[in-house]
Each structure stands twice: as structure tokens, then as C-alpha cells.
Amino acid sequence: MAGAKEIRTKIASIKSTQKITKAMQMVAGAKMRKAQERMTASRPYALKMLQVIAHLSHASPEYRHSYMAANREHKRVGYIVISSDRGLCGGLNTNLFRKLALEIRDQRKAGVETSFAVIGSKALAFFRRFGGKVMAQVTHIGDKPHVEDLIGAVRVLLDAYEAGEIDAIYVAYNEFVNTMTQKPMIGQLVPIHAEKIEKIPTHWDYIYEPEPKVVLDALLTRYIESLVYQAVVENGACEQSARMVAMRAASENAGSLISELQLVYNKARQAAITQEISEIVGGAAAV
Amino acid sequence: MPMTVHVDIVSAERAIHSGLATMVFAPGEMGELGIAPRHTALITRLRPGEVRVQKMDGETEHFFVSGGMLEVQPHVVTVLADTAIRARDLDEAAAAEAKRRAEDALAGKAAEFQYAKAQAELAEAVAQLRAIERLRKTKVS
């Protein structure tokens, strides 16, 4: 029964793997719910901020902030690439990088230079292989990302934008459609799309402390940071749900593997018993 | 029924408070502000400190903010709170840090101590302590 024993140890090892993937699936499920809560919790801030910005840009139309002016030609662009820190989450990061790589190729063809700010260690690893001008990076932000972790990386690109070194900033992340679907997205961050700032007729203006320009500067920077934060949180929710789905598939595969092996094992055992019986019968007949 | 104003305190990470108030106090950049209902429209930056919300039942709620923006409209007060102390040089320090990390990661070096960050953390801790102290005092009296 040498074959049977081998199969038995194989089944045991697959079972323990299945236990791990099941546990990971459950953990990812719990984390996903929390990440989704964070996603919804971050929305009112950005929404409120957009209202204020819309009002401000309306109330003092003579001052156009450089983040809002959209007439520059895009010669050099910056990307904020958001990825997960850990693997085992299916094709989540790979899908995003593939989309990004295609986009970069197109940009290069069009003669547009690209530079990157990287969030998450998977993206960093990607750029190490892929090459490209990485201007800033943040990794290991954990399951509970904080805005202040991201300020630095965003600032680098915003500074470059203000200095005229880049003409636009894009953000690449995974959009959370639902638990089963995540969509890689590349969206424009700066300059802010004019249609986002809707037109509201106003007959009044704020009292500013200090002057409008300073207030608007502070608001816009925070608004952009909050958008990046939202993207990070959304990508986090994607990571957890992708991991949950991947781990569920892994557990199911382990299950079917186990039942197949069990069948083989049973057959081998049956064959051994049959052989033994026929040997005994043969032996008895000989006597 | 006393006159009230709706108060929203939100940060980038979560909604902190939402409700009606008879009076709101906030640490504005140009000085402490007291906002009563039907205050004229105003927008200002906030210093790190505490925002006090006087509710209809006379109770006061305290919130610590590390800065941010305050938007006032006659019937709505919105505090857009920062989650950390912000200053121009600090942001620059964070940017430099992110840049350096990118260079290090590509070269493979370890992180080192950041003076500006420590200073900011100290400033925030002091402001927080002050808010806590004031909270304690109001509870005793």
C-alpha cells in the first residue's frame, strides 16, 4: 500500500493549505467590509469641498488657480499609481499595470514624457522591472491608510506641476464596482475638470480670512489629496475583495483536488484488498 | 425654540459630527471665532485647537482639530478638519521624504530620523493636551 500512503499525505497537505486559504478568505471578507465603510466615510468631505470650491471659483472668477486652468498642452504628465502592498489578490495589480503599461506606450508614441509617484510596494516592484522615472513613493500604508501618509507623494507631483515640469497629473487605481468586479481606472486629477465644478448662480460672497487666493490654494490642495486618499481607500477595498474571491477560488480548487485524490486513494485501497483476497484464495486453492 | 445652525464636522477620513447647534466656537487663523445662527458667509483657515459646539440642550461638545477650513453660511457651518498638522514647510518635508524614499528604494537604503516630522508631532501633542485639559476643566465645573 505504498501508493495509498503517498496519496494520504498529499491529501493531508492539501487540506492544511485549504485551511489557510479559507482563513484568508474570511479575514479578507471582514477587512473588505471595513474598507467599504471607509470608502463611504470619505465621501462627504470631498463632496463638501467641491461645493465650496465651486462657490469660490464662482464668487471670484478673476482668480483662476493653476490647478483649474486646463489650457496647457500635455507634454509631460505625472501618474500617481496606487497598488496593494501584498499579493495573493488575483489579477488585481497585474490588470492595473497592464492598462498603465499600454497607456505609457501610447504616451511615449505621442512624444509625451511620463513620471510617476508610487503608492504600494507592488507598484514599486513593477517600476523596478518596467523602468520609468519614479519621483516619489509610499509603501506599507496598511489597511487603515491615513491622509498624512499620502501628502508627501502628492506634494512632489503638485510641486512639479506648479513649477511647470509636468502639465497634468493622472491617478491610476482600481475602481470598486462590486465584490466580484474591480475595474482598473486611470483618471485625470489635475487640472481639475471644469465640468466637475458645476455652475451655481450666486448673489453673495464669503468674507475671507485671509484673502481668497490663500483660502482657495489650501482648499484645492486638500481636495486633491482627498481624491488621492479616496482612490487609495477604494483600491484597498478592491484588494480585499479580490483577495476574498481569489481565496474562495483557491479553497474550492483545493476541495475538488481533495475529492479527486480521495477517489484515487479509495481505488488504490480497494485494489490492494482485492489483490490480497485473490492471493489468499489462490493460496488456499494451492493447498 | 432657540435659533439654531446646522453644524457638520468632516475630515477626509470620516464624518465626525453632524447636528444642530445654538453656537459654534472655532480657532480661526486670525483669532478665536464665535459663530451664532445667521452669521454672515465666511470662510477661513483654522489653527490646531478645539472646536466647541453648543447644542440645543445647553450641552457643549468639544472636538479637537489639527487645523483645516471653516465655512460659514447663514444656516450651515462646515468644518473641514485636517487629520494632521499642516504647514507649508512640513508638506515640503513630507514631499522630500517621499522623494528620498523613492531614491532609496531604487538604491536600497534604510530610513532615517526626520527632524521636521518630530517637531510637528510635538506641536500636535501640545495642542491635543491643551484641548484635553480644557475638556477636563469643563467637566469638573
Q: What is the pLDDT of residues A185-217, one digit of tens each?
A: 998 888 887 666 666 666 677 888 778 788 888
Provide the pLDDT confidence category of residue A267 given band limits of 50, 70 and 90: very high
Q: Which residue has better confidence, A44 or B113?
A: A44
- B44: number of Cβ within 10 Å: 22
Provide the pLDDT confidence category of residue B112 given band limits of 50, 70 and 90: very low
Q: Which residue has better confidence, A200 or B32?
A: B32
Task: Tell me if A146 sits within 8 A of A153, measured CB to CB.
Answer: no
Average pLDDT, chain B: 80
Does the beta-carbon distance from B45 to A155 stay under 8 Å?
no
Peptide bond into B48 cis (omega under 30): no
pLDDT score, position A269: 92
Is pTM beyond 0.90? Reply is: no
Bridge pairing between strands B60-73 and B42-54: antiparallel
CA distance A88 to A246: 7
Please report where in the chains the cell 505504498 appears, as a residue. A2
Q: Residue A76: which residues within 8 A CB-CB, separation 6 or more?
A: A112, A113, A114, A115, A165, A166, A167
Rg (CA), chain B: 18
Does the beta-carbon distance from B98 to A117 stay under 8 Å?
yes
CA distance A243 to A90: 6
What are the grid coordinates assigned to A280, written together?
Answer: 489468499
Bridge pairing between strands A113-119 and A133-138: parallel
Rounded mean pLDDT, A67-85:
84
ipTM attached to this prediction: 0.73
Size of interface A-B (CB pairs under 8 A): 133
Average pLDDT, chain A: 87
The pLDDT tens digits of the residues spanning B41-100 come to 888 988 888 889 999 888 888 888 888 889 998 888 999 988 766 666 667 777 777 777
B109: pLDDT strictly greater than 70: no
Which of A38, A48, A143, A202 should be substituted to probe chain B, the one whose Cβ sees the most B Cβ atoms within 10 Å?
A: A48
Of the listed ranges A48-62, A97-111, A149-163, A232-246, the least confidently predicted one is A48-62
Does the beta-carbon distance from B10 to A44 stay under 8 Å?
yes
Three-state DSSP class for A281?
A: helix
What are the grid coordinates assigned to A172, written together?
Answer: 491610476
Please report where in the chains the cell 493549505 appears, as a residue. A17
The alpha carbon of residue B72 is apart from the nearest alpha carbon of chain A, in Å, by 8
Task: Give residue B59's identity as a one-letter amino acid code.
Answer: E
Chain B residues in contact with A153 (beta carbon < 8 A) = 95, 98
Look at residues B120, B133, B126, B134 and name the one whose alpha carbon lies nearest to residue B25: B134
Provide the pLDDT confidence category of residue B110 given band limits of 50, 70 and 90: very low
Rounded mean pLDDT, A252-274:
94
A37: pLDDT strictly greater than 60: yes
Task: Tell me if A43 sits within 8 A of A233, measured CB to CB.
Answer: no
CA distance B10 to B16: 5
Three-state DSSP class for A91?
A: coil
Task: Tell me if B102 sits within 8 A of A135, measured CB to CB.
Answer: yes
How distant, in Å, are the alpha carbons of A15, A116, A266, B130 from that of B99? Answer: 46, 11, 61, 34
